[in-house]
Structures are given as structure tokens and as C-alpha cells.
Homo-oligomer: A and B are copies of this chain.
């Protein structure tokens, strides 16, 4: 392999990451090749150590390490074992944990149902969720998926599947974001905020 073929392999791998097109992958590859003792070494080390140590929790799917399987979120006794929050990705768990507003368990679907992209109900971790509902004794399932069409359809689908079970099924409130003005909200958000209005 010549130098450019090596760069090309890096470009191809980087191009498989979300939001990275051919051109920006190429620029990254050149930057790495141009600084072998700097950012290249730093990235290789970080990746290797993560490869050895980082795992996804076998129960909830959150980011954890080989020494903590299942993860602390699943095992810590101080957390509420009666509710499970269903999210799309491990990163959503991090975002919700950062709020400090939730102390129950989690379940990451690792995707959403997206017929346009060939992702059916079998492609997400729905069976794993049903199995957990059978064994872990949750009483409430909180759907914390996005507010786009596919995420909402996924939430509705899962709610239908769960309907026969004696569970409270909730979803996050839709409304005007904190710090935003009425005039900046789109019509649909405003309509939902009106519908979901609460007592003052």
C-alpha cells in the first residue's frame, strides 16, 4: 500500500461515522497523517483503550465498562426499580442523567423504527424490553423518544405492543423550550403546548 491508500482506508472508516461525509473524512485523514506524534497518537490511544474497556450494558444499553456489566444505572439500589425510561441511544441516557430529574431505570432501543431506512421493529431492542418487563416488575414505562415523525411513530407502536400489560405508559411533555419566546415556536409546538397546558 502506498501512502494515499493508507489515507483512503482511514477516510472510508471515518466516513461511516454519523454526519461525516467523504470530504470531511479526507480532511481529517490528512490532518492525522500530518501529525503522527500529536493528534494521531492521541486518537489511537483513546480508541484502543476504549476498545478494551468500554461496553454497552447488556440490560439497558448504556455506556459502561467491562468491569460493570450490568451497569450501575441497572444495579444501584438507590434507583427506582418501578419505572423504566425508553430512549433511542445511549447518549440520550447521558443527557437525561445530566438533568438529575429522573432516578429510575433505562432502556436504549439502539435505533428507531424507520421503514424509509429499512429499520423495522425487529431492528430495535424491543424484544429485550418485553423480556425486562416480564422479569423486572416495572409499573411505568416512560417513552423518551424524539419529537420527529419516526420517533413518535415508534413510541406509538411500542405503546400498542405494551397495551395488554397493566402498565402506566407516559411520554415526555411537548411544549415551548425553556428560554424561548412564544413567537419563536413553530405552529405545531405551540398547538401542543396549548393542548398540554397546566394549572398555574
Interface string of A20-41 (1 = CB under 8 A from B): 1000101110111110100111
Give the bracket for the number of chain A residues in contact with chain B: 35 or more
A4 to B40, Cβ gap below 8 A?
A: no
Residue A54 at the chain B interface, CB threshold 8 Å:
yes
A36 to B51, Cβ gap below 8 A?
A: yes
Question: Across the interface, which residues of B come within 8 angstroms of A6, CB to CB?
Answer: 46, 49-50, 53-54, 65
Residue A147 at the chain B interface, CB threshold 8 Å:
no
Question: Across the interface, which residues of B come within 8 angstroms of A33, CB to CB?
Answer: 50, 54, 56, 63, 90
A31 to B18, Cβ gap below 8 A?
A: yes
Q: Which of B3, B4, B51, B65 contacts A3 (CB 8 A)?
A: B65
Tell me whether chain A's interface is mostly helix, strand or loop, or mixed.
helix
Question: Across the interface, which residues of B come within 8 angstroms of A16, CB to CB?
Answer: 39, 42
Question: Across the interface, which residues of B come within 8 angstroms of A45, CB to CB?
Answer: 9
Interface string of A166-192 (1 = CB under 8 A from B): 000000000000000000000000000
